[in-house]
Structure 1
Amino acid sequence: MTTTDEYAEVAFPPLGRDRRVQGWIFSAAVSQIGDVAWYVGLAWSAAQVTTPAGAGLVMGIGALPRALVLLWGGALADRLDARRTMILANLGRIVVLATAGAIVLTSGVTLPLLLTVAVLFGVMDAIYTPAAGTIPRRMVRGEDLVKLAAGTQLANRLAVFVGAPLGGLLVAHGGLAAVMLVDALSFAVIAVALAWVVRPRLPQPSSSGASIRADLRDGFGYLRRDVSARTLVIAFFGLNLCVGPVIAVGLVQRTHVDGWGAGALGWFQACSGISAALGAVIALRWKPRRPARTGLLLLIPQAAGCVMIGAVPRVVVFVAMAMIGMTAGLASAQLSGAFQQTIEPAFLGRTSSIVSLSDEALMPLAMTGFGALISLTDVTFACAALGTAFAVLMLWSAARLKG
């Protein structure tokens, strides 16, 4: 764990004037814009060249290599220099996009090409993401981690509003090759920022295992030993697996069953996104004494919003989505900062990869199970059941945390 003495030996400029922090947040925003634009272009291109089932395969197949490689990527992040690993992963993405773009220009868009690119991107993501999870802890003081997380999340949420229409415009006027070019440029910008601006101030503790497999065993052993770390990981699993199905499946089913139309669904999502950005702005200035516990308790209103989605009238669904968005913006910053402070630096990559695995490997199962629950009961019961389970898990987690 990083000690006060280690922080005292390093000069940290004020967070608002820290060029390395600004570079980190800027690179996160550029990455999000490129990713969102890419997925819009990928989805549209898949819809043009294959059946709906094929398009679904294109959009989902990248999760398989991410799930298979994530734990290995986490162990790699704790063993190698994280910044260099991220730069190499971005260069790999650029090579993939440049090669695929050349094929598109000469031979056109095909289903095998889209599947290949999606798989290769999944592998690169599994290497890049855990390494990125180790950087904030080594760049700022412990008390600034929540603010850094809030700033990064605000940039990411605002970037979505830029990336989605940008992807649509690019694929409409320049085709998939144009989207690939812009996405490759975004990765080049990030690589330059990582190489010249984003330089961690604290050393990276290296894992001590004799092999990647030994490092993985040690990572799971760390979670068995450390109650606070294990509790946060369990809470993150619950957060990912409870809210996602309600928004992605429950809200859609409720909108469809009640005949509110696709327009209403878009406005619901916009309400949540705007509220989340506002929550992140507030988190930039709010400094609770116990960020981990505060973040978990903030998610209780989010659980209530999940319950409301299945039962309340349309106008009140906007209130529920605002509750979910606002608490997401507030709680995510607190919990991200607390995660960075709680996890031993030598295990950040492995622990981050375990948390990410809930999205990649377990989320499809959670979506399917939640849809089956709706079929067996109804939207109201399913949302109430999952929202209640979510609230209970957050209360249990908050009670177990020491700080």
Structure 2
Amino acid sequence: MTATLIPPVHAAADKPAHRDSNVLRWLGAYTASMVGDNVYYLALSWAAVQVGTPSQAGLVMAVSAVPRALLMLGGGVVADRFGPRRVVIGSDAVRCAAVLTVAVLLFAASPGLWLLALLAVLFGTVDAVFMPAVGALPARVTGRDQLARVQGMRGLAIRFAHVVGAPLGGLGVALGGAAAAFGLAGLLIAVSVPLLISVRMRDLPTDVQTDVPTDVEAGGEAGPRPMGAAQDTASRATPWQDLRDGLRYIRGHRVLTPLLVAIALGDLGFVGPLNVGLTLLAEQRGWGASGMGWVLSGFGAGAGVAALLLAVRGRLPHAGRVAAASILAGSVAIGALAHAPSLVAAVGTALLVGLLAGLSGALCGALLQTQADPAYLGRVSSVAGIVSLGFAPLSMPLSAAAIGWWGTGPVFVTSATVCGLGGVVVLCSGPLRRAQLPR
């Protein structure tokens, strides 16, 4: 199983996450990688529009989602078998090399759409391994009582990457075209590699578990196996057995199963309205691109405040109940967004949506991190990611078609209902409703 390449972090050395240099190095690596991702996607879309038709450009942008959705579960197995740190370092190195290679080729010539499509497929394939490993890594760099704070810090990094990535990508395009933007993306991703190499891993007693404990199969929660037995199992297990064990572990866990269902419902109901639906709503109301930008800024600000709250507080009491309440209130706000009487009201409503959705998302992510056995976190993260990154984007064309048939109001209300069902799932699950974040 996971080989620790540098001395592990021991529990006695635990510090608050925002003061822990080890966590801050991980956060710096994650932030650099996410900013590079944002620059990469802008460069890819710009290059595709320059050399192809709008429909061809859209196909290039969408093609990376296919390997990501198909291979995500296998990526979770890889992260758990080889260790998330090693997988993240290797994935970032491959992503960096691929993007820089395309930048050099674009400087030298104009290879056409085939090169961009190949890059998108490669990026999506590597993402299928990278994303589950990213989800499994926090439990290896800090104590369990700091995972909620780390989740908030991670949310702030994502907000920062969204705010900074697009202007940086635009600057790269303005200075040297798509080639310069790709080069900038590759360099940003490259920054993460030495930072990740310097991050120390925790010595977790469950690192060697690859089999599902018998009490999980009976419907209870996971308990540790003897280390020697787990190592014997690991030596015999195949990747297919690891995948089955991970799915069986999730199915038997009284908190993770309803939690993943709630996350899936939230993603399915949220992605359509806040992407395609908002664009069509702004067009119908005459808000224009600037108005839509203000609404998106309101959402981003609300989500950032929620992430900051969790990063500062470290934990919120009654996490399960608070998550359910914020999901239900956020779903009402999503439905109300389509009926906002003015742009100012829409921005205020979007701020509320971002705050509530950001809070529920951060709490659900923190509960996932703290409830799952670290030995299974790669597979658990892959199941959570396959919905948000594989299935949820499919709701965008459906949302656009439904708005064309019935208008924005009914579609936003329907999406809000789907989101609200996630809150109902949390309330109906006693173990999840009563779940607490560790002190």
Give the TM-score taking structure 2 as reference length.
0.86
What residue is the counterpart of 1:278 in the other structure? 305
* Identity in percent: 31
What residue is the counterpart of 2:264 in the other structure? 237
Q: In the TM superposition, what is the alpha-carbon distance from 1:85 to its structure 2 partner? A: 1.2
Inter-partner Cα distance in structure 1 for 2:375 and 2:360? 25
What residue is the counterpart of 1:379 in the other structure? 408
Aligned AA (1:38): Y
Partner-residue secondary structure (3-state), 2:255: helix
What residue is the counterpart of 2:392 in the other structure? 363
Q: In the TM superposition, what is the alpha-carbon distance from 1:129 to its structure 2 partner? A: 0.9
What residue is the counterpart of 2:38 in the other structure? 36
| 8 Å CA contact retained: 2:72, 2:132 | yes
| 8 Å CA contact retained: 1:131, 1:349 | yes
Inter-partner Cα distance in structure 2 for 1:359 and 1:73? 15
Residue 289 of structure 1 pairs with residue 317 of structure 2: yes
What residue is the counterpart of 1:133 in the other structure? 135
Inter-partner Cα distance in structure 2 for 1:156 and 1:396? 27
Residue 255 of structure 1 pairs with residue 282 of structure 2: yes
Q: Over aligned residue pairs, what C-alpha RMSD do you find? A: 1.9
Stretch deviating more after TM superposition (388-397 or 132-141): 388-397
Residue 320 of structure 1 pairs with residue 320 of structure 2: no
What residue is the counterpart of 2:335 in the other structure? 307
What residue is the counterpart of 2:224 in the other structure? none
Q: Output one character per residue of 1:64-98: Cα deviation in whole Å (capped at 9) or x when no partner.
A: 11111111111111111211111111111122123
| 8 Å CA contact retained: 2:173, 2:180 | yes
| 8 Å CA contact retained: 2:267, 2:419 | no
Q: In the TM superposition, what is the alpha-carbon distance from 1:10 to its structure 2 partner? A: 3.9
Inter-partner Cα distance in structure 2 for 1:107 and 1:45? 13
What residue is the counterpart of 2:29 in the other structure? 27
What residue is the counterpart of 1:49 in the other structure? 51
Matches within 5 A, 1:178-197: 178-197=180-199
| 8 Å CA contact retained: 2:10, 2:203 | no
Residue 341 of structure 1 pairs with residue 341 of structure 2: no
- Residue from 380, 394, 418 that aligns with 1:389: 418
What residue is the counterpart of 2:208 in the other structure? 205
Q: In the TM superposition, what is the alpha-carbon distance from 1:376 to its structure 2 partner? A: 3.1
What residue is the counterpart of 1:174 in the other structure? 176
Q: In the TM superposition, what is the alpha-carbon distance from 1:9 to its structure 2 partner? A: 4.8
Partner-residue secondary structure (3-state), 2:172: helix
Inter-partner Cα distance in structure 2 for 1:235 and 1:181? 39
Partner-residue secondary structure (3-state), 1:133: helix
What residue is the counterpart of 1:74 in the other structure? 76
Aligned AA (1:92): V
Inter-partner Cα distance in structure 2 for 1:97 and 1:365? 26
Partner-residue secondary structure (3-state), 2:13: coil
Aligned AA (1:164): A
Question: How has the CA–CA distance of structure 1 residues 8 and 115 changed in structure 2, closer, same or farther, with 3 Å as cutoff?
Answer: closer
Inter-partner Cα distance in structure 1 for 2:101 and 2:311? 41
Question: How has the CA–CA distance of structure 1 residues 16 and 223 changed in structure 2, closer, same or farther, with 3 Å as cutoff?
Answer: closer
- Residue from 264, 267, 273 that aligns with 1:246: 273
Inter-partner Cα distance in structure 2 for 1:16 and 1:244? 31
Inter-partner Cα distance in structure 1 for 2:134 and 2:411? 35
Stretch deviating more after TM superposition (286-295 or 139-148): 286-295
| 8 Å CA contact retained: 1:78, 1:205 | no
Q: In the TM superposition, what is the alpha-carbon distance from 1:272 to its structure 2 partner? A: 1.0
Q: In the TM superposition, what is the alpha-carbon distance from 1:279 to its structure 2 partner? A: 2.0
Partner-residue secondary structure (3-state), 1:263: helix
- Residue from 346, 353, 358 that aligns with 2:382: 353
Inter-partner Cα distance in structure 1 for 2:407 and 2:139? 44
Q: In the TM superposition, what is the alpha-carbon distance from 1:227 to its structure 2 partner? A: 2.3
What residue is the counterpart of 2:221 in the other structure? none
| 8 Å CA contact retained: 2:320, 2:426 | no
Name structure 1 gaps, 5 residues minimum.
1-6
Q: Output one character per residue of 1:17-68: Cα deviation in whole Å (capped at 9) or x when no partner.
A: 2111111111121112111111111111111110000110111110011111
Inter-partner Cα distance in structure 2 for 1:201 and 1:231? 29
Q: Output one character per residue of 1:296-317: Cα deviation in whole Å (capped at 9) or x when no partner.
A: 3212221112101221212321
Aligned AA (2:112): T
Partner-residue secondary structure (3-state), 1:227: coil
| 8 Å CA contact retained: 1:297, 1:395 | no
Partner-residue secondary structure (3-state), 1:199: coil
Question: How has the CA–CA distance of structure 1 residues 345 and 56 changed in structure 2, closer, same or farther, with 3 Å as cutoff?
Answer: same
Q: In the TM superposition, what is the alpha-carbon distance from 1:198 to its structure 2 partner? A: 4.6
| 8 Å CA contact retained: 2:136, 2:378 | yes
Inter-partner Cα distance in structure 2 for 1:285 and 1:241? 29
Question: How has the CA–CA distance of structure 1 residues 111 and 289 changed in structure 2, closer, same or farther, with 3 Å as cutoff?
Answer: same
Inter-partner Cα distance in structure 2 for 1:19 and 1:211? 37
What residue is the counterpart of 2:113 in the other structure? 111
Q: In the TM superposition, what is the alpha-carbon distance from 1:118 to its structure 2 partner? A: 0.6
Inter-partner Cα distance in structure 1 for 2:337 and 2:42? 27
What residue is the counterpart of 1:4 in the other structure? none
Aligned AA (2:418): A
Aligned AA (2:285): D
The number of residue pairs the alignment matches comes to: 398
Inter-partner Cα distance in structure 1 for 2:393 and 2:87? 28
Stretch deviating more after TM superposition (27-36 or 330-339): 330-339
Name structure 2 gaps, 5 residues minimum.
1-8, 211-233
Inter-partner Cα distance in structure 2 for 1:371 and 1:392? 22
